[in-house]
Structure 1
Amino acid sequence: MSGEAERSGADVGDRDAQISALTDLVEALTRKLRRLEDRVNQLVARPGPESSADEDAAAEPAPWVWFSPPAAAESDPAGDGDPRNTVDNFVAWYNVTFVGVDGSRARPIPQCWSQHPGLAMEVATLAYSWRAANVGPNATERDAQHWLHQWRPGFADRLAREWGSPDCLDGDHRDDGRARADRHEIAEQHA
């Protein structure tokens, strides 16, 4: 009988230890859930471009944007919203802002960029990724730095190696026979 009493005493001690461990685990999970809930509430309270009452505020450059950003068709309420205008403006702005010194890999985007399908796709995504990282209430310093550290150098490298011929990069377009109408030109032709 004393063996049975010892076992029940050991079971109670083991059960108390298990309850204590579970209580600690539940408290840790509760703290994590509260932090997550606080973060979700912060994100919900942050106005997005579609919920902003003031459209001009939605297109404001972030404080770290040192130079005036390129004009975007999407920011002009009187404009037609043609994304080609956004990309064209970005190309001009990029060439003024990011072209390196003589001999560097950072070359200007050639005037004939839209006549090279792969380059046109990359330039368009470069333009819109820059805007997402640097303009409007959802722009973040982290995204802007990522763009500068990853997107731009990768683009500059591919521009020099893959997308343009040396002639195009020197300002003398060489037709490679791959130019084609973009979806906006096709829509205009069918309108």
Structure 2
Amino acid sequence: MSHDEQPQALQEQVDALAAGLDDHDLAIGQIAAEVAALAQAGDAGADQAPGSRARSGGGWTAYGSDPQALAARMGDLRAWFVWAYPTILFPRSAEKEIPDCWEQHPGVVEELLALYAAWVAAYAEARPNEGRIAWHDRWVGPFLDRVFLGYGLNECRRNGGHVQARQARGTDVAAAPEPATAGGVRA
């Protein structure tokens, strides 16, 4: 390279580096905007109970959820349940028939919200994937076992109507803060 070509080559390298810096500045600006949006969303929930935002489950749990968001999620859950329950997802049987009072059992509501969230995740992708069969194999059976063994649905089924589940030993509901409600669901 001649002495006259060196400044031009150096200028080309400087121009290339400057273009790279512009790309980096753009990316840093986008990241900064995302961080600011996340911080603002976090500040919006600052008046909630300590730790409730961390436990909110992104709207997929009744615990700590905004009552309006929970009411909307419960509407989605009810619509999905009406479709899913009598179809192939939950074949009805006398042993595992979910009684109509399921919404009066907060644990069942949480289990159904989690099952629904897993279903949405498994079926959200347009392309076929293993998540769909995994949802059926991994989540449905254990869900049914848990809700009948742990949340009093067997008693409701046998009674033909709602039976208030017994309170676990060692819990003092009177000492707990009043939970938020939406759609009849205790948060």
What TM-score do you get using the length of structure 2 for normalisation? Answer: 0.45
Larger relative contact order (Cα-Cα within 8 Å, sequence gap ≥ 6): 2
> Quick check: which has more Rg, 1 or 2?
1
What TM-score do you get using the length of structure 1 for normalisation? Answer: 0.45
